[in-house]
Structure 1
Amino acid sequence: MGQNFEVSLINGVEVASFRGDSEGGTLEADLGMRDFTINSMAWDPSTGLLTDPYGGQDDLRQRLIRFTGNPEDRINEDPIRMVRACRFAARYGGEMDGQSQAAIRNRCRELGTGIAGERIRNEMIKAMAMEKPSLFFTLLHRTGLLSSIFPSLDRCAGLNGGPHHGETVFEHCLLVGDALPADQPLLRLAGYLHDTGKFDAVRFKAGQLTFAGHETHRDALASDLGQLRFSRRETDYILALVRAHMRPLTQDSTPRAVRRLLAMLADLGLSYRDFMRMRIADKRGNLAKSPYTLSDIKTRMRKLLDEMHGKNAFTMNDLEITGQDICRIMAMPPGPEIGKIKQHLFERVLDTPELNTRQRLVSMVEEMAR
């Protein structure tokens, strides 16, 4: 849904033909069909004349986002403009006028059915490049759009963060996303979505809120990402960050615990750098606790690098024995049992890296075969 207009590329500049064909193709008619007043201005470089029939210049000075003409007409032409209005207002650190906000609230439910998911996805990715996308998410929630885009996040508004937080779950997610780098849009988006599982995991234990295991509650988020047509690779990456973000890494973490963490990251296809970025942002977004100091970060990074630079196995493919070797020694055909044996060997090697030699692993399998 949404009208298409012919665009030509001239000397690197996109040039569109007049859109107001029904009005004779005049400049004024063309400007009247633009989305917002700040985009409904035209400048003639030969004369320096600015044509501004809708007060776009004043709105730009005031950082006010206003639909051109009748908001209902502009939304009818292309409902994605509701999302763009929120993005523009957040980008310029401004607001939307009351009439535009009211029109979006009245039409917000249509977003999920009247727009291709990938168009909304593209707006979300663009928003990640701004200084504080939390303003964008706040406007989406205020106008009712968020419930059609990321209902898994929208439902967290007002959800108490529990005894270990000084903010709501929704506020925490916004703080975490803002703390992540703008040049990594998927990582940043994962920050805004990382605690959406708390809504499904919330329980009362000994009179207190608990969200134990919330990182495993990812079905609602996965459904949202699917509706927005995120690719399988993008979805897997975001869900992997959600799954891993609660894995502990402290100054007291043992080498064995660090190796198991690195094995988990390898299994999820995550880099240790992105894991650490998420951990640092997660801590910064907790108003009840102090953020990591530079010393804290260096200590944790050193623990990771020490294990990574050793001759350690972080996947089953790193074992100095193959599935074929196990089949031969056990006199068994390939199948699930061979996989279980290899997994057992991998667990042993994670605990004791010195076992990862062909001689020792063969001896262990031979012992099982007796």
Structure 2
Amino acid sequence: MKEFLTLLKENPDLRFIIDILGKNGFQAYVAGGAVRDILLKRKPDDIDILTNASIKELISLFGGQKLKTMGKTFPICTINGIEVSSGRAKSDPANFPESDLAQRDFTINSMAWDPISQKIIDPFNGKKDLEDAIIRFTKDPEKRILEDPVRMIRACRFAALIRGSFSLSSLELIMEGKEKIDKYVAKERILCEIMKAMALKRPSLFFKALKKTGLLSKIFPSLDRCHGLDGGPHHGETVFEHCMLVGDALPENLPILRLAGFLHDAGKFDAAKKTDGKLTFANHENHTGAVIQDLTKLRFPLKDIAYITSLINTHMRPLTDQTTPKATRRLLFMLDKSGLDYKDFMRMRIADKKGNLAKRPYTISQIRFRLKKLFTEMAGQPSGFSINNLEINGNDIIQILGLSPGPCVGKIKQQLFEIVLDNPLKNNVNDLKKICLSLKIKK
């Protein structure tokens, strides 16, 4: 296929490695994900070479190149940034590369391209499964899972990648083996699979596959419990469906923001109440405990947990035609205090509206109008305006009011800040002194 020849042409290091291996009597194939991606008409994210040369032989042949070895169970090395795998099935060298491909995870990843014959080696009908959009474990499904249980999560990610489904045997074994996730899989590896899924066109298919296999309850129980939960009178979809739509609507290049979109309404399960026969979710944005617990268990960095939590806390803050300049300033202050950029707030708001099937998405003019409100208020105050930007400080307050240092000084300073938020023009020494004195009189 010409796509493979183009791959060689565009990657001189790939061609160099294959040439050196061939000249020294070794077989070399482009294998795994690169073959799958090319058949899907996608540019390969990673390019792997499969060879029957041992790691020691690779080190000897490419000692002068940028070479790094890794892995114990399946040793590999990278040569000039390209992953080179030494055949796994040493007991059957006569049947190489089929013997190696037999030990790979899924049939769609168990193909290789021979640069000599320029043909695809496909002993397990991976190309047919790719055409039929089927995820099937290679050869012995139970053994593939026992070798590495994280493959059950990878199966869900690849099902989302090809927008496909599972073979019956693969689905049954994942459902039976889901408990292995808790026992045998490092949380960091699960986190890695989640973040890779965020780069997909529709990560919602990943979460839906996790739900279908029973794995979602093991990974994100906070989200799993929202499946089937009525979205209430203001939505035309369930809470789970809404979260899926919102996450998909957020940018692929902002994975943590996107993940926040998938989790933003998970607190509705805890907030759900029936009021006058209607389902309500008052203050659901403040019910973040379950999401934080899930993210912590998955070993997400503290900064990412704080960011996701802040996005959930602020996603209900109104910004409408009726929002006053005062309310807009308070919104900007809240975002700054939460460590959020107005762009991420707007992205979440736009996606949240788009994911509500009972309402129309924002129009371009509506988005521009809201941005104009933010820009107008941002232009009138310093970037990141906070209580420390007041024109008087705690010592000034003590001198003006004749107070002793203590908690009351901080309370007065907070009152001044609230007043300045409402009217930025009062942030000058004379006005703030007058306000301080008036506060003393009220006391």
Shorter-chain TM range is over 0.9
The equivalent of 1:207 in structure 2 is 277
Matched, 1:338 2:428: no
Q: CA RMSD in A?
A: 1.9
Please state how far the C-alpha of 1:220 moved relative to its aligned partner. Answer: 0.2
| Residue 17 (str. 1) matches residue 86 (str. 2) | yes
* Deviations 1:45-79, CA, capped at 9 Å, x for gaps: 12334332211122122222111122121111111
Q: Which secondary structure does the structure 2 equivalent of 1:50 belong to?
A: strand
In structure 1, the partner of 2:58 is: none
Gaps of 5+ in 1: none
Instruction: Give the SS at the match of 1:15.
Output: strand
Which of 295, 301, 316 is 2:387 aligned to? 316
The corresponding residue for 2:396 is 325
State the alpha-carbon separation in 2 of the partners of residues 56 and 43 from structure 1. Answer: 13
- 1:81 and 2:135 matched: no
Equivalent in the alignment of 2:36? none
**CA positional deviation for 1:89:** 1.1
Instruction: For 1:240 and 1:334, locate their aligned partners in 2 and report how far apart those are by CA, in whole Å.
Output: 33
Matched, 1:266 2:336: yes
Q: Give the match for residue 356 of structure 1.
A: 427
CA shift for structure 1 position 339: 2.3
SS of residue in 1 equivalent to 2:179: helix
- After TM superposition, the structure 1 = structure 2 runs for residues 142-291 of structure 1, keeping only pairs within 5 Å, are 142-291=212-361
CA contact (8 A) 1:329 1:369 kept: no
Question: TM-score normalized by structure 2?
Answer: 0.79
Contact kept? 1:63, 1:94, Cα under 8 Å: yes
Q: Which SS does the other structure have where 1:8 is aligned?
A: strand
Say which is worse superposed, 199-208 or 355-364, in terms of deviation: 355-364
1:97 alignment partner, one of 156, 164, 167 = 167
Distance 1:113 1:308 in 2: 50
Contact 1:314–1:350 (Cα < 8 Å) also in 2:
no
State how far apart, in whole Å, the 2-side matches of 1:34 and 1:367 are.
Answer: 76
Superposed CA offset, 1:269-293 (max 9, x none): 1111110111111111111111111
User: Any idea what SS the aligned residue of 1:223 has?
Assistant: helix
For the structure 1 residues 72 and 326, does the alpha-carbon distance in structure 2 shift closer, same or farther, using more than 3 Å as the test? Answer: farther
Aligned to 2:51: none
Displacement of 1:367 after TM fit? 4.6
DSSP-derived class of the 1:54 partner: coil
SS in 2 for 1:209: strand
Q: 2: distance between equivalents of 1:53 and 1:333?
A: 83
From 122, 127, 143, give the equivalent of 1:57.
127
Does 1 or 2 have the higher relative contact order (CA < 8 Å, sep 6+)?
1
**Farther off after superposition, 147-156 or 61-70:** 61-70
* Counterparts of 2:141 and 2:152, CA distance in 1: 10
Query: Given that residues 3 and 78 in structure 1 are in contact (C-alpha distance below 8 angstroms), is that contact kept between their aligned partners in structure 2?
Result: no
Does the CA-based 8 Å contact 2:130-2:162 persist in structure 1?
Answer: no
Which 10-residue stretch deviates more, 358-367 or 71-80? 358-367
Partner of 2:77: 8
Are the aligned partners of 1:36 and 1:68 in contact in 2 as well (CA < 8 Å)? Answer: yes
Taking structure 1 as reference, are residues 356 and 204 closer, same or farther at Cα in structure 2, changes over 3 Å only?
A: same
Q: Percent identity?
A: 55
Structure 2 vs 1, CA of residues 333 and 224 (structure 1 numbering), >3 Å: closer, same or farther? farther
Shift of 1:314: 3.6
**SS across alignment from 2:235:** coil
Tell me how far apart the structure 1 counterparts of residues 192 and 348 of structure 2 sit (CA, whole Å): 23
- Code of the aligned partner of 1:106: E
Query: How far is the alpha carbon of 1:38 from its aligned partner?
Result: 1.4
Q: Is the 8 A contact 1:197 1:215 kept in 2?
A: yes
Letter in 1 for 2:250: L
Deviation at 1:337, TM superposition (A): 3.0
Count of aligned residue pairs for this structure pair: 369
- Larger Cα Rg: Structure 1 or Structure 2? 2
Report which stretch shifted further, 191-200 or 353-362: 353-362
| Superposition deviation, residue 114 in structure 1 | 2.0
The TM-score, its normalising length taken from structure 1, stands at 0.94
Structure 2 CA distance for aligned equivalents of residues 48 and 296 of structure 1? 54
Shift of 1:368: 4.4
